[in-house]
Amino acid sequence: MNQQTVLEFARGPFFYFALLFMLFGLAYRLFSVISLGWSKNRVPNKGSQAKGVFMTFLKGVLIWPFIPWVKNTFTRNPLIYIGGGLFHLSLFVVIILGTPHMLVTKSLVGVQWATLPLPIVDFMAATGIIAMLILLVNRMIHPVMKLISGPAEYLAWLFVFLPMITGYMMTHHIGGSYESLFTRHMITVDVLMIWIPLSRLSHFVFYFFSRAIHGQEFGKRGVAV
Amino acid sequence: MSEETIKKGLADKGVSRRDFLKLGGLLAAAMGMQLPPLEQSGLPAALGTPARGSQIEQNILHALETKQRLPVIWLEFQDCTGCTEAVSRSVSPSLENLVLNTLTIEYHETLSAAAGYQIEQAKQDAMKKYAGQYILVVEGSIPTDNDGAYCVIGGRTAIDHLKEAAAGAAAIIAVGNCAAYGGLPKAKPNPTGAKGVWELITDKAVVNISGCPAIPEATTGTIAHFAIFGTLPELDNLNRPKTFYGKTVHDRCLRRPFYEAGKFALSFDDEGAREGYCLYKLGCKGPTPYNACATIKWDQGLSFPIQSGHPCLGCSEPNFWDGGGFYQGQSTPLDKPTVAVVGAAVGVGAALGIGTALVNQSKKKAKKGGSK
- pLDDT tens column, B107-121: 888 888 888 888 899
Yes or no, beta carbons of A24 and B349 under 8 Å apart: yes
pLDDT for A107: 87
User: Across the A/B interface, how many CB contacts are shorter than 8 Å?
Assistant: 134
Rounded to two decimals, the ipTM of the complex is 0.82
Distance of CA A224 to the CA centre of its chain: 39
B231: confidence class by pLDDT, cuts 50, 70, 90: confident
B322 touches A: beta carbon within 8 Å:
yes
B70 Cβ partners below 8 Å, 6+ apart? B2, B103, B104, B133, B134, B135, B223, B226, B227
Contact between A53 and A215 under an 8 Å Cβ cutoff? The reply is: yes
pLDDT for A225: 56
- Select the residue of B331, B347, B351 nearest A103 (Cβ to Cβ): B331
Yes or no, beta carbons of A182 and B288 under 8 Å apart: yes
Looking at residues B284-291, what average pLDDT do you find? 89
3-class secondary structure per residue, chain A: CCHHHHHHHHHCHHHHHHHHHHHHHHHHHHHHHHCCCCCCCCCCCCCCHHHHHHHHHHHHHHHHHHCHHHCHHHHHCHHHHHHHHHHHHHHHHHHHHCHHHHHHHHHHHCCCCCCCCHHHHHHHHHHHHHHHHHHHHHHHHCHHHHHHCCHHHHHHHHHHHHHHHHHHHHHCCCCCCHHHHHHHHHHHHHHHHHHHHHCHHHHHHHHHHHHHHHHHHHCCCCCCC
- Select the residue of A16, A25, A33 nearest B333 (Cβ to Cβ): A16
The Cα angle at residue B184 between residues B178 and B188, in degrees rounded to 5: 125
B259 touches A: beta carbon within 8 Å:
yes
pLDDT for B51: 46
Q: Which residues of A173-212 are buried (b: 16+ CB within 10 A; e: fewer)?
A: eeeeebbebbbbbbbbbbbbbbbbbbbebbeebeeeeebb
Yes or no, beta carbons of A33 and B287 under 8 Å apart: no
Mean pLDDT (chain B, rounded) = 84
Q: Per-residue pLDDT for B199 more than 50?
A: yes
CATH of domain B68-245: 3.40.50.700
Distance CA A214, CA A207 (A): 10
Between residues 150 and 179 of chain A, which touch chain B (CB distance below 8 Å)? 178-179
pLDDT for B1: 47
Report the residue of A1, A3, A8 to disrupt the B interface, i.e. the one with the largest count of B CBs within 10 Å.
A8
Q: Per-residue pLDDT for B312 more than 50?
A: yes
Which tens digits make up the pLDDT trace of B147-170? 999 999 989 999 999 999 999 999
Q: How far is B45 from chain A (nearest CA, A)?
A: 35
Q: How far is A79 from chain B (nearest CA, A)?
A: 32
pLDDT for A92: 94
Yes or no, beta carbons of A118 and B360 under 8 Å apart: no
pLDDT for B32: 60
Mean pLDDT (chain A, rounded) = 90
Which tens digits make up the pLDDT trace of A64-84? 888 888 888 888 889 999 999
Tell me the backbone φ, ψ of residue B181, rounded to 5 degrees: -125, 10
Which tens digits make up the pLDDT trace of A94-151? 999 998 899 899 889 988 888 888 889 999 999 999 999 999 999 999 999 999 999 9
Which chain B residues have a beta carbon less than 8 Å from that of A99?
262, 264, 280-281, 329
Q: How far is B280 from chain A (nearest CA, A)?
A: 9
Q: Per-residue pLDDT for B65 more than 80?
A: no
Rounded to 10 degrees, the C-alpha dihedral A209/A210/A212/A216 comes to 140
A71 Cβ partners below 8 Å, 6+ apart? A64, A81
**Domains in chain B: boundaries:** 68-245, 247-338
Among the listed residues B15, B187, B180, the one whose alpha carbon sits nearest the alpha carbon of residue A2: B180
Percent of chain B with pLDDT over 90: 42
Q: Per-residue pLDDT for B355 more than 70?
A: yes
- Select the residue of A31, A103, A119 nearest B353 (Cβ to Cβ): A31
Looking at residues A192-214, what average pLDDT do you find? 92
Q: Which of the pair, B32 or B9, is modelled with greater confidence?
A: B9
B319 touches A: beta carbon within 8 Å:
yes
Contact between B346 and A27 under an 8 Å Cβ cutoff? The reply is: yes
Q: Which of the pair, A165 or A115, is modelled with greater confidence?
A: A165
Looking at residues B323-341, what average pLDDT do you find? 85
Which chain A residues have a beta carbon less than 8 Å from that of B349?
23-28, 31
CA distances, B311 to each of B218, B268, B356 (Å)? 21, 10, 50
- Select the residue of B264, B322, B352 nearest A28 (Cβ to Cβ): B352
Looking at residues B204-226, what average pLDDT do you find? 89
A100 touches B: beta carbon within 8 Å:
yes
Which tens digits make up the pLDDT trace of A17-34? 999 999 999 999 999 988
Residue B372, classed as helix, strand or coil, is coil
Contact between A102 and A96 under an 8 Å Cβ cutoff? The reply is: yes
Q: Per-residue pLDDT for B34 more than 70?
A: no
Yes or no, beta carbons of A36 and B322 under 8 Å apart: no
Yes or no, beta carbons of A178 and B317 under 8 Å apart: no
**Domain at B247-338, CATH class:** few secondary structures
Amino acid at position A170, single letter: M
